[in-house]
Structures are given as structure tokens and as C-alpha cells.
Structure 1
Amino acid sequence: MGSMIAIEDQSYIVSGLDSWRVWPSDEIFEPRLQRWLGVERFQLPPADEPSSGDGIRTRRFPEWYSCGDCGSLREFRDFDSSTGTAKCDTCEKTLTPSRFVIACENGHLDDFPYFAWLHKKNAAGSADTSGGHRLSLESSGQTASLRSIVIKCSCGVRPASLEGAFDKGAMPDLGIKCRAKRPWLGRGAAETSCDAAPRTLQRGASAAWFGITRSALAIPPWSETLQQRLNRAYPALRRRVERGDREEDLLEDIEADSTLTDNGRFTPEAILAAVRRRMELLDSAPLPDPDETLIFESASTLRREEYAQLYDGTGTVSREENFECVRAGDDLIPLPFGIKRSMLVKRLREVRALESFTRVTMPDPVGGDTRRAAMAGTPPKWLPAIEVSGEGVFLAVDEERLQTWERREGPRDRARQIRLRHTANLRERAEKARPSKPTGEITSPVTPRYVFLHTLAHVLINEWSLDCGYPAAALRERLYVDKDMAGILIYTATSDSAGSLGGVVAQGEHRALHTSLEAALARTEWCSQDPPCMEAEAAGIDSLNLAACYACVLLPETSCETNNVFLDRAMLIGTPDDPLTGFFNEAH
């Protein structure tokens, strides 16, 4: 919700969650992630027929339209267009929604203030207001620049082009403030105030909506068949256990529910024990600490639980379970240098939930960004989510060798360059959000270990996309990085046919891993953009990369956890001046 979509020649905004019509059959459960995000359940986005008017609802936005023939510029409702049409009431030509909107970093969105833009730019000029104010929009078509788009008013004020409207200070310089509007929640849903400066955006610009997603893998015990069957009935059973219902009554009611018992496959006693086990696990699980020091999601509690399961693997699992992880079987062939363990994840299930969204600037990957736009008029009890089933390979790096490498000056210096720039970005954003609070305590968590593992995941995805026949966008990284964690999971990331070709698991076998890692490192040693790429002192979004570009390391954005930042291939193969900056150069 909150994103703008084009349907034929019209523009709409997806309404808030409180207007969606969702169905119990579309519920998704992932208890760990539900507790982490503080919701009761997840829902698949509904897919009703458009003519039903149910499912995901939309509202018309922007509300300002123009006529390409007569140039009239006004709100859509003022055109008196008949229901189901978008025609000019003067010339009967099709109306065009405004190409421009304004938004702020707090997620607010509003129509471009054409009237204010024109008249504030000409505040010192004279105008005859006897004829009222009727705006028109004209484009000479001579150039594609904003100078060719001119606004006029019937009051006689001097016309003004849109040149300069996209400048960062264009709106504040004219005294135009954010009105804190939230059109996805309907009229009258604006917040009381907003101190952020509005920015002009193209209606279809990527900066108009940045989703904030959270994900989790289904791991034991949650991936076990009995726990999966318990999902729908758990809330009611928990309430009965908490209020002290007699155990005999509970067991009797459970036995009568053939869906729970699977027609006798599970005993009532086992089901009740599973309920109590889930209660204990959920109640003892830690919740996010809003005051916690900034960390990457790769070091969160959810990731730590997954890391332990991926590292140790599973025993024999039934067909219905959706997590199976075993060690690669090539015991006669040693693992490549620096790799401690290779695990074949033959089955996995990931749930990805949309937690919130923001606009103008991307949310920071370390969670230091507190901007969160409202998903509904009141805090929702559920969030939209999807689930992806697939396969993957988990690699754990040799901790002892990694610690030795981390102490070298080369990796430390290169990571320090990225960390300093990231710290400056974090502090700048914090100052905007909380001007009265000191920002000196804010420090980026970027380490040589993180940059190394992140870059390693990228080069392996690029290599495996060639070996397995997958497009790189169909593979995804999942990082497990902290002082005592060093692992990466590369897995199929799409629910369409490109995510079900098979073959990724085979890349985790020792022999195949030797071949693919050597080939990946060989490609990484040379980039078609060298020497500028390797010698770059800053690259990427907000200058948060070093030696990394689309010719060597970067991936499609859907494959990367941090939007292609915190990357440096020198961490893998070294630099011409200092080969030992590269972790894998020790092998030669």
C-alpha cells in the first residue's frame, strides 16, 4: 500500500490495509517473524476479480489532472467527468493525471502544488483577480526539459515553467511545507504536522516508494509437520491453556478436530504438548530492542537461530516438512581454502512480510532509520506477506583464518573508509529526524568481515547463475555475520518457474564448489572497468562501495539484502599494491 500504480491511462494509489478484504484461506504463518513484528498473522495479498471491487482497493491519485487539448489544469472532481470516464468537460478529450507529485522522507505524499508554485514565484508581480484563478498547463514540446512545461493562470500573473522544481530546496525556498498528507488512507487522514521538506518527484519514480521488508526461514521446530498443522488452532488453544481449562476437556476437543489430528496421525496428547512447547518458545524469545546499538539484520536474533540450524543441519525429515539441510557428501575431497562447512539446503521456506515503507531516500540497512509510513489508520494486527519455497547452499567460513585476516591493516583500512562514510550518513539522517538529540554515539557497524562475506555472496551468485542456468535475479543472498558468525546462504528467491529449475544444491558439493569458487575469483580479479574500478576511493549509492561495479560484483536489487552497498572485491583478491588485503590470496 501507499505505492502509485498506472492502470491504462489513469493513476491510482494502493489503499491502506484497513480497506483490504482478506480471506482466512490466504493466511500465512511464521511464528518467529510474527512475534518479531508484533502481529497475529500474515496474509497473502488478495487477488479478487477487478469487477468485484474487493481485495486490494485503490484510490485515485494524483488528484490533479490536465487536458492535453485545451490545457485546463484542476482537480479531477472539478472536471465533472461522468462516472467511469476521465474526459474534459470542455473539449471531451481524455484527461491526463499529473506527472509530478511531492513527497517527504517521512512517507507523506501530496499533489504537486501548481497554484502555489506559480503564484509564489510571482509574489512581487501584479495580477488581476477579478476573473478568478483558472490554471492551465502547456508544453511547447521543443525540448524534454522542465523549462518547456509552463503553468498559466487566468488572473494574469506571469506564467512560470517547472524549471527547478526538482531541486532539493525548491519547495522550502518558496515557503511550501509538507502538509503531512496520506492519500492511501483516504481524505482527512493527514497527520497533524511534519517538519520534513517536501521534494518533487516524477509520479513513476522509484524514489516515490521504498518497501521495508522483513523475512525469516521456517526452521525446526516451526517447520515440523505438527507445528504447521497447529498454526490456525494455536491462538484459541493457547487462550484455553492460559485460562486454566481442564486438560481432559482440551484433549477431548482436540480429538474431535480431525484437521488437527490428521485423522489419528497425531494424538491429542502430542498436540497439547506441542501447544505448550510453542508457548514456552515464543514467550522466551527476545523481542527487538529499539535502543539496541545499530546492527545489520544479518546479526539479529532471528538470523542467529537460523545460523545454528543451517550449520548443524537436520536429521531425517518427513516429506511434509519444509526445511531439510544436510552436509555435502564429498568427504574424500577437501573443501576449498577458507571454507569450513558446506551444507546442502534441499528444502527451505521463506516468508517475506512488508513491514512498512518510506519515500524519497532508501531506508538504511542497519535499521538506524526510524522513518515508517502508516500501513493503516490504526496499527494493523496483520501484515501482507508472501512465501517462497526453494533450495540453496549454506557456506560457513573458517573462523580462525578469518580472524587472522581481519587483523591485517589492508582489510581494516578499506572497511574503515566505508564505515566512516556510512557513519556520516547515519548521523545526517538522525539529525533530520531528531534535531534536538546528539548524534555522536551513532557509529556504523561495517566491518571487514561483513564486506568480505557480502562480496563473496555476490561473486558466487554471479558464477552460479552461469553454471546453473538461473538468471541472477532468481538467486538471493542471506547473510549471517557477527563477531561469532560467518556464513552465507545462497538460495532460489522467486516463486515462479525460474525459482524451481533445481541445480543450486549441487553447487554445494565439494568438487563443484572448488570449480565454481576458483572461477568466481578468477573473474573477480579482472573487471572491464579496471583500473578505475579497483582504484576507486568511493563508489555506489552514498559512496558506500569501493571496488565494485555492475561489470564485476553488483547484482539485481532483488538479490541483495542491502541494495548493492558495502561491497569491495579487493577483500577477496587483494589490490595490486597489497595482495594480502584479499582473504583468498593466502591460498596461493
Structure 2
Amino acid sequence: MTPSPARRRRTGTNGAAPTHNLPRRGAVRRAQTITTYGVGSLIAVDHESFIVSGLDEAERSWSRDESPRIHERRLARVLGVDYFRLPPASDDTSKDGLRVRRFPLMHSCPECNDLQRHRDFNPPAGRSVCGTCEVDLVPSRFVVACEAGHIGEFPYWQWVHRSADRDATTAGRCGGKLKMRTTGHTSSLRSILVSCTCGTAPEVSMEGSFRRRALKDLGLTCRGTRPWLGASAVAQECGLPLRTLQRGSSAVWQPVLKSALSIPPWSDGRTDPLAEHWDALREYDEREHVAIYLRGVFKGECPVPLDEVMALLDAEREEDPDGESSPVPDHRYRALRNKEYERLRAGNEESEHSRDEQFVCERPLGDQSVLAPLGVAGPMLVKKLREVRALKAFTRLVNAESTTDSTEVPLSERPLRWLPAMEVRGEGVFLRLDEDRLNAWEKSVAVTARVERMRTAHQRVLEQRADDPSRVVPSPATPRMVLLHTLAHALINEWSLDAGYPAAALRERLYAADEMAGTLIYTATSGSAGSLGGLVAQGEPETLARAVRSAVRRAEWCSSDPLCMESEASGAGGINLAACHACVMLPETSCEHNNILLDRALLVGTPDDPRLGYFEDVVQGQ
């Protein structure tokens, strides 16, 4: 038996094993650095709290071996970068990976009740304990943030001295020390008491600190601090109102994620060596000039035939005629989705290059007429796919769905040519709804009125969360969008029972517009649960027909009925109708709309109006 090859040891630039410049604090999965613990987010490690640093130092701290470049030309063009990088995967011999900084700096000691900056406790090197009491310090539970993305320490001095002389509101000017204790009587803010040893101000609780005007009433506004960029980052002029937040609140950090499927002609892995040369190649119109450039770059023969390079250049110019970023990036992103829909409909069969091809999509061999009575058409078996998800920016307080460029916080102080991203390779099933039947159904007055209630509620929430209501993105709620969204959730739940996949291992990708009515359900994780295989088999016509019928019939009844079905509004902001965690809601990783805009009544109808459901015939047993 041939012995396994020896494991290659990662080496530094001088051939020696890389060493850590900073102590290791913990570990997170690669995917979490995009979705949960990205730049600017707060992360709790044991009893300590840190903020993830910006990307300005990543060129030096992220090793190319552990953080390779990945390419997705269409997405890079939309986001205005040249390439993407995987977050570092490190081990004991690696360089510094994802860097963090201690935040918040204010800590309290549960033994002596002192409340002060971490360094003032004189902790031993590498430990977070009170130098006097030798007990673990507790990071401040409270931080302040503004809608421009700045974050800072909660102003405990000003909060305690708000009823005393305003001259004493500057930290330390009163000559006393802050103390924090909890009464333990309740878990409310009223039980958290803060005082100052100066004696000029009474002990106060934290009750009321979360009011919208609580800090404004103290005369405090945002100072533009950006601790994730380090002490050298100059504070920005801001002056926006501050909001008090709990350190672990989801409003502290929300990622702005963009994703794309690799589709032809950009899905051929053989073209990866050309990824960094497209901008230069666009300058040449003549075939001979392109050939000369390629010979110079690759020192001989180009890994991609010249004919294919010219075809790719034609596609590049067609998709991006000006070669510049559009003033409305959302339009470019919608165009990206349109191209995906067209390719999913057209397919891309296996060929002799399938080993390098990252997108293989074929029509099933079975009889598709069994799907016609269900109003489902055009299933496609996506045997190979690659999705790239990039972290574009992040927001605070402002919902990522309603954000504008003015509230998106960049990941670095200076512009970079790349963004952090992850790639998922897997398989999936694409299906469409019958256009004629769908057009007739969505013109129903009852359907339109029901969806309009959801759209109005969603638009109101978007305007409330937006920094500028006049520039808010319109709600995507339409009859076909809500129908496709709810159907995708029902199918994911069905396949989690029949196909052996946990629901969190599957993900939806919706294509809902005037000329689009389809959904792609695919493996959403690079872990073992996302590589079981067999999802493509669910797209065979007879199997798919059984799954749709079973999913629809399962959606007829919910353990929370009749409350669920008869609900006038449900979910955050009342954006859902007949939808709850007992019927069609999914894990967050599976839904691209955060479990909103769902209504199973559009699938099966209501007891009072069965015709409301698109699958009325299935419910009636026809």
C-alpha cells in the first residue's frame, strides 16, 4: 500500500515556519467571517469582547497560502473590485489571521465593582482580570452607535452626572471613580446601578438609557469614532444622534452581502489565469494585439485558446460597454440576476471540458408533462454550480435591506482592490412557474389586495429604518415574488424530510420580476451536510411532482392554525401573513429575505377563499 504523502509545512518568506505577531484569542469558521463576524462586528471570546479589525493591514497579516484569491468576474465588476480573497484559514504554524482589537474598553470588576478602562485595572499581560481582586473582568454590556456606522463607549460619566454640574460631565474632572453593581432583584436595566465616588451625583440605574432621545438630552452626539480601524484612524465629523445598544444586539452590525453564480462564459476554470488581465485586454480591439499581450504576460503559450479569449472579451464588452461602475449599482446587480435566469433556462450541458467547468445545468430526461397540472414548468438539473458571496460593507442601526451607499460602512480606511468572500460549490434544482397560469392568477383582485397589505407594511418598515426615506429602496413584494418565496420554503422543508438534508444545508435563490418567475434551491454550505449528493435527483419530473404535491398539502395545515392562517399580520413589522416557524419559516442561512414576505395562503388559499391559492387544484385533489 502506497504511503500517504507527507503533509506540506506552511512556510514564511524565509523558509521558516511563520510565527504569530499577536496572541491568538479564538477561532471562527471561514463562512462566519463573511456573515457573522466580519469587519467592524463585535465578537465575544470567553469572558472578553473584541471588534474585528479593518482590512488595511490584511495584505500583510493574511498569508496568500491561507487566504487565496478567488475570481468571479461578473460580481467583481458590479462591486468595483479586481478580485476577492478567502478569509484566512490558519493553524498553529500560521501567520496572524483575522485581527481583532479589544472593544469596548470599559470593563467592570464583579468583586470590587470598579468601572473603568481595561488598562486601568493593571491586568497581567495576556489576561483580562482585575489586578487587585484577581477575578475576570466583565466588558461593558452597553455601547453607542449612529446610523453612519460609528461606534463608541457608553458615556457612563455623563449618565451618572446628568443631574449634577455640567462641568463635571467630562470623565475624571469630578475627581471620583465610577462604580457599577447589580442588585440581583430583577434582570431589567433598573437593577444595574452606576455611581461615582465623588459624591456629587446620586447612584442611578441604567433604566431609560435606551430611549431614542436619552443621549441627545445629555447634549451628546456622535464623535465619529471607528475603533475597528485602530487608534491611528482619525475620527470623522459626524454629529448624528447616538443610540444605546446592547453589545450583542443584531443592530450593532449587519453585513451587506452580494452574491453571484458563476455562469458561462465566466464559469470555465481554465480562464482563472486571465482574471487579473481583463482591464488591460479591453484596451485592445485587434486580435493580433491581444495575442502579443498574452504572449508577453504568459512568457509563451496562453493557457486559454485565443478564440476563447476573444469570445470572452466580446462578452465583457457586451455586459459592461463603458467599462465603468454604474451610478446605480442596484441596476447592475439586477442585470446580473437576469443573466443567471437566462442561463438557468438555457442550460449548459456537460462536455469534454466539464472537469474545469463550474456550471453544468441540464434538462431532465423524464416526461415533464406530469408537472403541467401543477403549474410548474421547465425544471433544470444543476449538477455543478459555484456561488461567490462577498462582504461589500456593513451597517449599524440601519437594516441592510433599506441601506443606501451613504450608510454603508467600508471595510477599510483606504480603498482596496479586493473584498473578502467565500465560495460554495454544490448542486441544485431550478424550476419555473407556468407563465400563462401565473399571469392569470396574479391578476386576481383578492391576490393583489392580500399582497398589497404585505407590500405596504414592508415599505413602511423600510422607510422607518432608512436614513433618508425619500431614497428608500421600494419593497420587492409582488404576487409572484411572495408565491415563489413561499413555495421555495415549502420545498426546502419537504426535501429536508424526504431527501435527508437538514434545512440549514439548503438555500433559495429567487428570480421574480416581470419576465422572470423561477427559483433555484441548492446546497448552501461547504460542510459535510452540503455535499451529501442526491439533490439533483429531486428535480426529475415525477419526483419533483410528488414533492410539490406533498409540500403544498403539508402547507395546508399548521400546528398554530387557525391563528396562523387567519393572522392579519405576523413577523417583525407585520410583514408576513400566514407564516410562522411551525410551517414555512426557515433557518436564517437558507432564506435570502430574512424570513419576511411569506404567505402560505397564496399556495393553498384560505378556508373562506380557496381560489386565492395558486395550487388550488392540488388542494382540491384534482
Give yes or no for contact 2:168–2:174 (8 Å, CA) kept in 1: no
Alignment partner of 1:526 out of 547, 552, 557:
557
Q: Which residue in the other structure is 1:216 paired with?
A: 260
SS of the residue 2:116 aligns to = strand
**CA separation of 1:381 and 1:454: change in aligned 2, threshold 3 A:** same
Alignment partner of 2:468 out of 433, 446, 460:
433
Summarize deviations over 1:217-246 as a string: whole Å, max 9, x none.
00000012432342255456557x489995
Looking at structure 1, the residues matched to 241 and 173 of structure 2 have their Cα atoms a distance apart, in angstroms, of 33
SS of the residue 1:334 aligns to = helix
Moved more, 83-92 or 540-549: 83-92
| Residues 94-243 of structure 1 aligned to structure 2 (within 5 Å) | 94-122=136-164, 132-156=175-199, 157-187=201-231, 189=233, 191-232=235-276, 234=278, 241=284
Structure 2 residue 615 is matched with structure 1 residue 584: yes
Q: Which residue in the other structure is 1:341 paired with?
A: 378
SS of the residue 1:386 aligns to = strand
Deviation, 1:342, is 0.5
**CA separation of 1:87 and 1:535: change in aligned 2, threshold 3 A:** same
Looking at structure 1, the residues matched to 324 and 511 of structure 2 have their Cα atoms a distance apart, in angstroms, of 19
Amino acid at match of 2:576: N
Q: Which residue in the other structure is 2:10 paired with?
A: none
Deviation, 1:73, is 0.9
SS of the residue 1:402 aligns to = helix
Give yes or no for contact 1:179–1:190 (8 Å, CA) kept in 2: no
Looking at structure 2, the residues matched to 515 and 154 of structure 1 have their Cα atoms a distance apart, in angstroms, of 72
Give yes or no for contact 2:256–2:391 (8 Å, CA) kept in 1: yes
Moved more, 387-396 or 118-127: 118-127
SS of the residue 2:62 aligns to = coil
Q: TM-score, normalised by structure 2?
A: 0.85
Q: Which residue in the other structure is 2:606 paired with?
A: 575
Alignment partner of 2:570 out of 531, 539, 545:
539
Give yes or no for contact 1:580–1:586 (8 Å, CA) kept in 2: no
Q: Which residue in the other structure is 1:452 paired with?
A: 483
Amino acid at match of 1:154: T
Looking at structure 2, the residues matched to 394 and 116 of structure 1 have their Cα atoms a distance apart, in angstroms, of 57
SS of the residue 1:534 aligns to = coil
Q: Which residue in the other structure is 1:32 paired with?
A: 74
Q: Which residue in the other structure is 1:553 paired with?
A: 584
SS of the residue 2:411 aligns to = coil
Deviation, 1:447, is 1.0
- Paired residues in the alignment total 571
Deviation, 1:316, is 3.0
| Residues 51-450 of structure 1 aligned to structure 2 (within 5 Å) | 54-122=96-164, 132-156=175-199, 157-187=201-231, 189=233, 191-232=235-276, 234=278, 241=284, 246=289, 249-250=292-293, 252-253=295-296, 256=299, 260-261=302-303, 266-267=304-305, 269-270=306-307, 272-273=309-310, 276-277=313-314, 279-281=316-318, 283-284=320-321, 300-317=334-351, 318-331=354-367, 334-336=370-372, 337-364=374-401, 370-430=406-466, 432-433=467-468, 443-450=474-481
Amino acid at match of 1:322: Q
Summarize deviations over 1:156-179 as a string: whole Å, max 9, x none.
120111122233333223333222
Give ranges in structure 2 of 5+ residues lacking alignment.
1-38
Looking at structure 1, the residues matched to 357 and 396 of structure 2 have their Cα atoms a distance apart, in angstroms, of 39
**CA separation of 1:535 and 1:271: change in aligned 2, threshold 3 A:** closer
Amino acid at match of 2:371: L
Deviation, 1:475, is 0.4
Give yes or no for contact 1:6–1:12 (8 Å, CA) kept in 2: yes
Deviation, 1:52, is 6.0
Amino acid at match of 2:183: S
Aligned-residue Cα RMSD (Å) equals 2.9
Give yes or no for contact 1:529–1:551 (8 Å, CA) kept in 2: yes
Give yes or no for contact 2:377–2:434 (8 Å, CA) kept in 1: yes
Summarize deviations over 1:48-85 as a string: whole Å, max 9, x none.
44786622211110011111211111111223334322
SS of the residue 1:554 aligns to = coil
Amino acid at match of 1:93: V
Deviation, 1:311, is 0.6
**CA separation of 1:236 and 1:512: change in aligned 2, threshold 3 A:** same
Looking at structure 1, the residues matched to 542 and 316 of structure 2 have their Cα atoms a distance apart, in angstroms, of 44
Q: TM-score, normalised by structure 1?
A: 0.90
**CA separation of 1:210 and 1:50: change in aligned 2, threshold 3 A:** farther
Moved more, 146-155 or 118-127: 118-127
**CA separation of 1:285 and 1:572: change in aligned 2, threshold 3 A:** farther
Amino acid at match of 2:349: G
Summarize deviations over 1:519-556 as a string: whole Å, max 9, x none.
11111111111111111111112211111100011111
Looking at structure 2, the residues matched to 581 and 502 of structure 1 have their Cα atoms a distance apart, in angstroms, of 36
Deviation, 1:561, is 0.8
Q: Which residue in the other structure is 1:4 paired with?
A: 42
Moved more, 41-50 or 229-238: 229-238
Q: Which residue in the other structure is 1:475 paired with?
A: 506
Looking at structure 2, the residues matched to 16 and 442 of structure 1 have their Cα atoms a distance apart, in angstroms, of 28
Looking at structure 2, the residues matched to 454 and 570 of structure 1 have their Cα atoms a distance apart, in angstroms, of 12
Deviation, 1:279, is 4.4
Deviation, 1:350, is 0.1
Looking at structure 2, the residues matched to 303 and 220 of structure 1 have their Cα atoms a distance apart, in angstroms, of 14
**CA separation of 1:44 and 1:443: change in aligned 2, threshold 3 A:** closer
Amino acid at match of 2:98: I
Looking at structure 1, the residues matched to 327 and 289 of structure 2 have their Cα atoms a distance apart, in angstroms, of 39
Looking at structure 2, the residues matched to 353 and 579 of structure 1 have their Cα atoms a distance apart, in angstroms, of 42
Deviation, 1:113, is 1.3
Looking at structure 1, the residues matched to 419 and 166 of structure 2 have their Cα atoms a distance apart, in angstroms, of 50
Moved more, 332-341 or 107-116: 332-341
The percentage of aligned residue pairs carrying the same residue is 47
Give ranges in structure 1 of 5+ residues lacking alignment.
none
